[in-house]
A and B are shown apart, each in its own frame.
Chain A
Amino acid sequence: MSTTWATSPSELLLRAAARSAGRRRSLLRRRITLICGLAMLAVAILACTLAPLLTRYSPTAIDPAGILKPPLSPHHLLGTDQYGRDVLARILYGGRIDLAIAFGATSVTLVGGTVIGLAAGYIGGRVDSFLMRLVDLFFAFPFLVLIIAIVAMLGPGVFNMFVAIWMTSWVSYARIMRAQTVVAKKQQYVIAARALGYGRLRVMFRHILPNTAPAVLLFSMVDAVGNIILAASLGFLGLGAQAPAPEWGTMISDGQNYILSAWWLATLPGLAVVFVGVAFSLIGDGLADLLRAGER
């Protein structure tokens, strides 16, 4: 059934990116995109995990004598907030939550959705139609609204944010993987494997999966960007990380109250989100280029 509502914008984006990825670019430039992305991500991960080595401030230590200092003040590179907490320390420690969502939420839905899509596409029949109707149903809701509604019922907090993403995000992977599997099933190597008498699981995971994994892997990069933004958005709305824990979204939300006097409070954490998001996008672009080069 070819109804238009059956795709998410992220999938469209992925397709647009795949189409527009430079056909005429040299192998070196392709690699550069990938390497830049990986390097940026490595910087972000190292900076957040090694935060105690990079700053001597605690992200929650209050300093009434030094509130709202602008960036580049002595001792405070990125300034301080309304409680005198060091903004750099808060960004570094706060990134831990956002990066955890990017990896923790994305990896679980990647694996879960892939297995479900693989099973639906390979087994077919009633299992397939049931699972795909379920997927359609999830796509009928605006993603963010559904997530908020689930978090509303479970109660705001970081863990419930994970649960809400786990419950909903697998559908994109399942849809992509199912489409790939249905095509692969008719191809010679699968027919050959089945003719050799290999079991269902062996054909699915040893033959089809390695040949179809690139599509879902590429999508997971787009999805990771979406999850980072989602984590920050829920934090901003007060539904994710709770004060006084530092998190980029909650920092932006706090900073908005001081927008007239202290611009850096709301803008700087946002730059961190953009930095990590661009890193994942570049990795996705670079991977797409490399895989397509491999195809030719």
Chain B
Amino acid sequence: MSRFGWLPRRLLHLVIVVFGITLVTFFLLRLIPGDPALAILGSSYTHTRAVAIDRTLGLDRPIWSQYGLFMDRLLHGNLGFSFFYDEPATRVILAHVAPTLFLVVYSAVLAALVSFPLGFAAGLRRSGALDQATRVFFTLSFAMPGFWLGIILILIFSVHLSAFPISGFGNGFGGHLYSLFLPALTIALGFSTVLVRSLRAATIAALQAEFVDTAVMKGISWRMVLWRHVFRNAVLAVIAVYGVNLAYLIGGTVVVENVFSLPGLGTLLVNSVSDRDYPVVQGVTLLFAVLIVVINLLTDIGQAVLDPRVGQEIGT
């Protein structure tokens, strides 16, 4: 079987999942108790307005026809109309994508920079001081709400040391890097503990593998064995964990964006909840889910590129 023989089946599976995602997103609107038009209009309810809203949302049709309408619009890039912003929801959402994407990539890189050296070192010196320290930090940070950690970081670095801004997205690439440092660090810290522990376990497993003994017996220097055999294998084992957590991290940005008042998708989502802007809520939810599906696909491809054995495993 070729290295990417699994890819067509995986893509087919992906199409099915995306179809399911649209179903869930569509049925979300059904959860609104009572009359959605009344919920949207509130005190400015009139019969004519309600009928107009029912028509734009497609609520005056049978349910399967509504889903058809939803899908038809979706395939044309139309997520509905935002009553709050008085604009197409797609345009509203696209205007908020950049800060979120920047934040996700930034925190993913930070997390890798922090956790790869730490996890590797903790695995090499089992039960050493560093290992114990990461273990304690691991337990603590797992129980720590991300938004609270963010506020603590604001308190230390912004209020007391005045080193970073309290909120905002900044201007230009450098400005983004500077302004988003604390939010990215907040997410990265939560993310890296899992990564450190997994990399530690993978390092320990790789150290015990027979290929390490072989390499040592061949007379390769220990440093070289560590780098080329232990580290590389440990990293391979952690890529899947990295992918799953990257997907999780995207959910975490929602809260952290609100802590630092970043103009991203998370802030938009939460504001749209209180504004009862249902099409935007639907659209953002859909976009987040599709992002996760894409990340998972990239994780699988990344694994197959780095480790041919994985490709065969995915195909089965």
Q: Which residues of the other chain, A, contact B254 by a CB distance below 8 angstroms?
A: 142, 144-145, 148, 237
Q: Which residues of the other chain, B, contact A277 by a CB distance below 8 angstroms?
A: 142-144
The residue from B142, B255, B274 contacting A225, defined by CB atoms under 8 A apart: B142
Q: Which residues of the other chain, B, contact A19 by a CB distance below 8 angstroms?
A: 201
Question: Is there contact, CB below 8 Å, between B31 and A150?
Answer: yes
Once A13-B194, A259-B155 are accepted as A-B contacts, the answer to whether A137 and B258 lie under 8 Å apart by CB is no
Q: Which residues of the other chain, A, contact B198 by a CB distance below 8 angstroms?
A: 12, 16
Q: Which residues of the other chain, A, contact B243 by a CB distance below 8 angstroms?
A: 4-5
Question: Is there contact, CB below 8 Å, between B281 and A152?
Answer: yes
CB distance from B308 to the nearest CB of A (A): 15
For the complex, is B17 an interface residue (Cβ under 8 Å from A)? yes
Separation of A259 and B139 alpha carbons in the complex (Å): 26
CB distance from B298 to the nearest CB of A (A): 10
Scan B136-178; emit 1 where CB is below 8 A from any A CB, else 0.
Answer: 0001101111111001101100010000001000000000000
For the complex, is A198 an interface residue (Cβ under 8 Å from B)? no
CB distance from A282 to the nearest CB of B (A): 8
8 Å CB interface, B3-50 against A: 10, 13, 17, 20-21, 23-25, 28-29, 31-33
The residue from A141, A144, A152, A281 contacting B273, defined by CB atoms under 8 A apart: A152
Question: Is there contact, CB below 8 Å, between A2 and B316?
Answer: yes
Separation of A141 and B147 alpha carbons in the complex (Å): 21
Q: How large is the interface on B (under 10, 10 to 19, 20 to 34, 35 or more residues)?
A: 35 or more
For the complex, is A245 an interface residue (Cβ under 8 Å from B)? no
Q: Tell me what chain A mostly uses at the interface: helix, strand, loop, or mixed.
A: helix
8 Å CB interface, A208-240 against B: 225, 228-229, 232-233, 236-239
Once A233-B145, A281-B143 are accepted as A-B contacts, the answer to whether A144 and B278 lie under 8 Å apart by CB is no
Q: Which residues of the other chain, A, contact B192 by a CB distance below 8 angstroms?
A: none
Question: Is there contact, CB below 8 Å, between B274 and A145?
Answer: no
Question: Is there contact, CB below 8 Å, between B151 and A259?
Answer: yes
Q: How large is the interface on A (under 10, 10 to 19, 20 to 34, 35 or more residues)?
A: 35 or more
Separation of A282 and B136 alpha carbons in the complex (Å): 11
Question: Is there contact, CB below 8 Å, between B247 and A5?
Answer: yes
Question: Is there contact, CB below 8 Å, between B17 and A148?
Answer: no
Separation of A152 and B271 alpha carbons in the complex (Å): 10
For the complex, is A149 an interface residue (Cβ under 8 Å from B)? yes
For the complex, is B272 an interface residue (Cβ under 8 Å from A)? yes
Question: Is there contact, CB below 8 Å, between B296 and A20?
Answer: no
The residue from A7, A140, A225, A260 contacting B292, defined by CB atoms under 8 A apart: A140
Q: Which residues of the other chain, B, contact A151 by a CB distance below 8 angstroms?
A: 273
For the complex, is B241 an interface residue (Cβ under 8 Å from A)? yes
Candidate in B31, B198, B258 with the most chain A CB atoms within 10 angstroms: B31
Q: Which residues of the other chain, B, contact A154 by a CB distance below 8 angstroms?
A: 31-33
Question: Is there contact, CB below 8 Å, between A137 and B24?
Answer: yes
Question: Is there contact, CB below 8 Å, between B258 and A236?
Answer: yes
Separation of A177 and B97 alpha carbons in the complex (Å): 38
Question: Is there contact, CB below 8 Å, between B197 and A20?
Answer: yes
Question: Is there contact, CB below 8 Å, between A2 and B251?
Answer: no
For the complex, is A241 an interface residue (Cβ under 8 Å from B)? no
The residue from A17, A133, A233, A285 contacting B255, defined by CB atoms under 8 A apart: A233
Once A144-B254, A273-B145 are accepted as A-B contacts, the answer to whether A20 and B135 lie under 8 Å apart by CB is yes
8 Å CB interface, B51-104 against A: none
Q: Which residues of the other chain, A, contact B33 by a CB distance below 8 angstroms?
A: 154-155
Binds B, one of A55-63, A106-114, A118-126, A262-270: A262-270
Once A137-B21, A149-B28, A232-B145 are accepted as A-B contacts, the answer to whether A142 and B247 lie under 8 Å apart by CB is yes
CB distance from A224 to the nearest CB of B (A): 10
Question: Is there contact, CB below 8 Å, between B140 and A278?
Answer: yes
Question: Is there contact, CB below 8 Å, between B32 and A153?
Answer: yes
Scan A248-283; emit 1 where CB is below 8 A from any B CB, else 0.
Answer: 010010011001100100110010011011101110
CB distance from B184 to the nearest CB of A (A): 17
Q: A12-B198, A229-B145, A255-B151 are in contact. List 6 more A-B contacts (CB 8 A).
A: A4-B300, A5-B292, A137-B20, A145-B284, A238-B274, A267-B151
Q: Nearest 8 pairs between A and B by C-beta?
A: A277-B143, A142-B251, A270-B148, A5-B296, A153-B31, A144-B251, A152-B273, A149-B285
- Which residues in B have some Cβ–Cβ distance to A below 8 Å? 10, 13, 17, 20-21, 23-25, 28-29, 31-33, 135, 139-140, 142-148, 151-152, 154-155, 159, 166, 194, 197-198, 200-201, 240-241, 243-245, 247-248, 250-252, 254-255, 258-259, 269-270, 272-274, 278, 281-282, 284-285, 288-289, 292-293, 296, 299-300, 303, 313-314, 316
